[in-house]
Amino acid sequence: MLDVLIPHFNDAEALDLSLRSVAAQTWRGKVRVIVVDDGSPSDELRRAEAIISSCDLDIELIKQPENRGRPATRNTLLSASDARFIAWLDAGDTWYEKKLETQFNTLYKQVYDGQDLSRIWVTCNYDWQWVGGRRRKVTQTTSGDQLKHLYVGDRLRAYLWTLLGTREAFNLVSGFDERLPRLQDLDYFISFVRGGGRLISAESSDALCCYFKSDVGRNAQEIRDCYETIFSKHGPSLNRFGVKFVRRAKAKADFVAARFAKNNRTPLVSLGFRMHAFGMDPRYTLYRAKKSLRNG
C-alpha cells in the first residue's frame, strides 16, 4: 500500500538509522521498504544485507552491480514501486514517529475537499542538523508561487524525504534527470510544479523528520554546474519572473556553492563564488555579508 523508497550507497549504519525510524511510525497501514544499493563495496553491502535481514520491516533489496549515481538509483526505485502511495527517505536521515500518520491525515483531508490526489505531494516541516551541531526547525511554506519559491529555496525547499504522495503523482514527472549528479530533486520538484502538480503542507507545525546535513566531500563546482543546468533547462519558467529575479536566484546558487567550498576547506574557491554572486546581485551579496558579520 505504501512503498518507502531508500537509495543506499556505502553506509550501512546510516541505512540502519533510517530503517529504525520507518519501523517506529505510528501509521497503521501496510508498509514495504524498497532499498536500492548503488554498487556499494562488497563489505558494506554485506553489512547492509545483515541489517535488512534483522529488521522486522518488509524490505526488498535491489542491488545495482555498479555505482550509477543518485538520480539513476532513484529512477530504479521509482520503477520498482507498485504501491498506491510512495514516500522517500535517504539512508542516514530519519522520520519522526508521527510523520506518516500526519501526512496521511492531510491526504484524507484532500479527498474530503475534493482534490485530485494524482497531482498532490504532501511535504512537511523538518529539522535540519549539521553533523555535530544543533537541530533547527525548517518550515516549508506552500502558499504563494511555488515555482518562484523553489528557485530561490528560502520558503519551500526541494527535499524528497519530506514527501508523501500517490504513485501517480510521482509519475507526473518523467523520472530524475540523470545528467544531474546533485540537485536532481530540485529539478524533479520544479518539473512537478511546472507539470501542474501542487505541494501542500502537512497539517502540523511540528517538524516531522530530520535531515542530517554534511557538505563534506561534495564538489562545489559540480553543485554550481547542476544549478546552471537546471536554470537553463527550465529557462522559460524562470525567465518569466524577470531579470532581477533570475540574477537573485543565480546569486543564491553561488552562495550555496560557496558554502560547500568553504566546508570542504577551499576558501579561495568559496571566495570566487561569492565574487561571482556580487557580480550577479550586489545588493543581495551585501545583505548576506552584513548578515554574516552580524552572526559573527
Partner 1 sequence: MDLIIVMGESRALLPHHCEPGELEQILPKNAFVFTMPWYSRTAGRYYHNRLLDFEEDLRLQAAAFALVTESSSGLRPALIFPDAGHDDAVQRRLMEMLVKIASLIDQPLTLHPYMISTSAHTDIDRAFGNENLERLLQAGLTIEAPIFLSSETIAPAVMEKVLGNKWINDNIPLFMSAMFENGLLVERSRACDLLSKCCEMARKNDLQLASKNAENVIAMLVRKQLEHVVGLR
- Residues forming the site for partner 1 (CB under 8 A): 1-2, 27-31, 84-85, 104-106, 108-109, 111-114, 203
Shortest CB 104 distance to partner 1, Å: 7
Shortest CB 125 distance to partner 1, Å: 18
By beta-carbon proximity to partner 1, the closer residue of 43 and 203 is 203
- Strands 58-64 and 126-130, bridge-based pairing: unpaired
By beta-carbon proximity to partner 1, the closer residue of 102 and 285 is 102
By beta-carbon proximity to partner 1, the closer residue of 31 and 163 is 31
Shortest CB 234 distance to partner 1, Å: 34
Shortest CB 34 distance to partner 1, Å: 16
The sheet carrying 135-138 orders its strands as 94-95, 209-213, 126-130, 135-138
Nearest C-alpha neighbor of 55 from the set 21, 8, 100: 21
Find out whether 30 and 57 touch, Cβ atoms under 8 Å.
no
Give the integer Cα–Cα distance in Å for 72 and 74: 5
Distance of CA 106 to the CA centre of its chain: 20
By beta-carbon proximity to partner 1, the closer residue of 9 and 104 is 104
Which contacts (CB < 8 Å, 24+ apart) does range 288-294 have?
A: 288/255
Shortest CB 32 distance to partner 1, Å: 10
By beta-carbon proximity to partner 1, the closer residue of 57 and 152 is 57
